[in-house]
Chains A and B, each alone.
Chain A
Amino acid sequence: MILEAVLLLGLIGITLAIIFGTDLMVAVVIYCAFSFLTMFLYIVMGAPDVAFTEAVIGVISTVIFIILLRSIDRKIK
């Protein structure tokens, strides 16, 4: 119970950091940490199948975002 609440508070903090950030590369790297924390959350809730899938899909999704950052300006006004 407490562990799930702590992980959810961490996720809310990461969301605030993504919304109010100014650098896109930082947002993508923080998104990778977000995916990692959700994988821990799924294990704590007792769903190891879902955690395995989330780990692999999180890596692929983050790398596709980084590939696309090559053609986009990193700083936003």
Chain B
Amino acid sequence: MRKLFTVIILIVAISTPFFAFDVLPVIGDPDSAPNSHVSDHYIEHAVEECNSPNMVTAVIVDYRAFDTMFETTVMFLAGVSVVLLLAGRPKRRLISPSAVKKRGRTVRGKAVYETVNKDVMISLIEPLILIYAVYVLFHGEVSLGGGFQAGALIGMTYLLDVMVGKRQRPIFNLSKFRSAALAGVGPFIYALTGLISVFAGGMYLEYNRLPLPVHQAELHSIGITAVEIGVTIGVAGTIITIINALMERISFDDDND
């Protein structure tokens, strides 16, 4: 009976999109409905109004900055949810006994496998990835890049260091509660940039009214950069929180038991 119900629901759900071919626009048509109303204004006025040749960055951080603020908040909430779900003490201690607790942060034991590849190259590669992340963050306006990519790159560096690295402490030695707090600083910086323009007499997140003594075009650049720093900190903090919360409860065979 339950299987019959499942099959009926599957057939209904799967056959529904195949009736929508009349409504969908022709691929490649410059006059179709999604390409007509507002995107033309965004494409033609992105360089002169927002001072950024990258139109995707101009759309998500300048024209639709309010949406991106709530996306960053949702990332922070995901990090907090993971910490809340995994905050209790596990029944069996899954952390290896050779790891030592010092002032609330866990220090790992010595790794069993020591090779030249892992120990020398990781210490050389990690600073290069971090420099590339900062480059991607600050060049998000001129060429491809932006805040989300830079934050994910910083999170990837932390993941590489925790899984493979040689030192006993990882690069950012934080407990999961503190890294969740760090992830909260990101939406705070974003909202603060919006509030500053309200205090100076404009609307929320209106970069034209920031109270700085520079030209009109540079105000937009400064506003976009400040907002993207907030996005980067939010995304990087969330990824670090997720990795910290999951690694506390899982044991690896490399540790010296």
Contacts and interface: CB of A to CB of B under 8 A. Distances in A.
A touches B (Cβ under 8 A): yes
B251 A70 contact: yes
Contact of A64 (B146, B153, B242): B242
A59 B156 contact: yes
Interface size class of A (residues with CB under 8 A): 10 to 19
B252 A70 contact: yes
Interface residues of B, number: 23
Contacts of B247: 67
Given A64-B246, A67-B246, A70-B252, A56 B144 contact: no
Contacts of A49: 54, 56, 144-146, 149
Contacts of A70: 250-252
Given A48-B144, A49-B56, A63 B152 contact: no
Given A48-B144, A63-B163, A57 B252 contact: no
Contacts of B152: 53, 56-57, 60
A53 B149 contact: yes
Question: Which secondary structure characterizes the binding site on chain B?
Answer: helix
Contacts of B242: 64
A57 B54 CA distance: 21
A26 B233 CA distance: 34
B79 interface: no
Interface in A36-77: 48-49, 52-53, 56-57, 59-60, 63-64, 67-68, 70-71
Nearest to A63: B159
B61 to A, nearest CB: 12
B163 A60 contact: no
Contacts of A63: 159, 163
Interface of B: 54, 56, 94, 144-146, 148-149, 152-153, 155-156, 159, 163, 239, 242-243, 246-247, 249-252
Given A52-B144, A52-B145, A59-B156, 7 more contacts: A48-B144, A53-B148, A56-B153, A57-B152, A60-B239, A67-B246, A68-B246
Closest 6 CB pairs of A and B: A56-B152, A49-B56, A70-B250, A48-B144, A52-B149, A71-B250
